[in-house]
Chains A and B, each alone.
Chain A
Amino acid sequence: MKVNGERAFAAPRETVWRVLQDPAQMAEVMPGVESFDVHDDRHWRANVAIPLGLGSLRMSINFEKLEEREPEFSQLRAKGTGVGALMNLVTQFELSERDGGTAMAWEADVRIAGPVGSMGQRVLKPIVNQQVQQVLTALDAQVAKAGGGAEAPKGAEEGLSLLEEESYSDER
């Protein structure tokens, strides 16, 4: 499932870049982080309990920085394994300076498998959207903390959209 969006921050690009590149600060942004340890500047690991209402989904997630071009582009892979689910996520963002602040064009390709998948897409897609929203909102706060207030979180809803639909083998 691919998700993408645009987001505006009332903060200089360097500030946003620092937040996005600092594992410790990203830990603040991710939902349900219980522990977090950095192996090196390209690899880190988080144990999370993603709150799903009916009970939280425990996962241990390995992050790997795939590519970065300071201060505008970065790509990251996250592989999560847990009892209920497996997650593979590749996400990237592009920062550009826009009217005094920073614009972030981002996209993510999320793939979820395992028992949680057997509950059906009708719940998976909304859940992914939901988590993305929370990350973005938290990111606003984090950027604000790092200096420069964040814009109203409505920026999130604006850009959020599904890039492509599932292609069913019998749908063609």
Chain B
Amino acid sequence: MTAAMVLDVGLALLVVAVAVWIVAAGSAFAAVVGFVSFGLLLALAWARLAAVDVALTEAAIGSGVTGALLMTAASRLRPTESRSAGERPGAFLHVVAAVLAVLVSAGLAALVLIPASPAPSLAPAAAVHLPELDVLNPVTAVLMAYRAVDTLLEKIVLLLALIGVWSLAPDRFWGGAPGLWPRSRPDGELTLLARLLPPIGIVVGIYILWVGAIAPGGAFQGGAILAAMWLLIMIAGLRPVPEIHRQWLRLVLVVGPAVFLTVGFAGFFLPNGFLSYPAQFTKPLIIVIEVVLTLSIAAILGLLVAGPPERERQR
């Protein structure tokens, strides 16, 4: 038994233990704390599975940004917790749910234990065109070139989610600014953190975006870091939360998907189809798309956490 094996067994057990905590915890806030830990441990597991790109995404979005979002919700919904305790389903439903869960788990475990042989893989196919694309990170190549249509649609999903969140605002607040945990009195420490951390964070975010071409990293991960830094500045009150009717804000939100779509449609006329890049411009086009996408992703993620408008529009 090697050290790596012991580490893997321990990590897998720990992930399951934290998952049990999330389901069993007494209060929603405690469960959310468990969820943040869960995301962090999953990031370690992804690194062990040789998927550092995913580890970065999990650390940034899965644990960090989602954790912040759920924490807000848990603290706002705290008054409702004791009331819903009486709505716990009976023993019968518990047993049925447990049996169902065990069956599903057993089925998945069987799939894992009886692997297909040889294991299916698209890695060789992905490797063939990497030199042409001049993108050395295969995951970025898949996201930006081979399966670019998935990435484009995912941006649309992000935008739709934001529109959905905004439409839940009461009419009188339409066009106003999101609430985002307004603090009654700003602490000196928080202000200090919000002044010191974002400059470093922005450099790291841009670095993660830039390194995405040759090593794990890319638009999502960089965008999530930028979003977290923006949120930090707004939480500390150093910059106001923007009102959602602002033209510049809406421009930033759509510029990424819009450029991506334009390049995609241009593919009809220049090369040979939707979302195919002209051979000599592949690398520059991918870089341009990634840069604007990062900007849009950062803005959308930040505003999704900030929630629907909760203040009236200022004239």
Does chain A bind chain B?
no
Q: Which residues of B are interface residues toward A (Cβ below 8 A)? A: none
Q: Which residues of A are interface residues toward B (Cβ below 8 A)? A: none
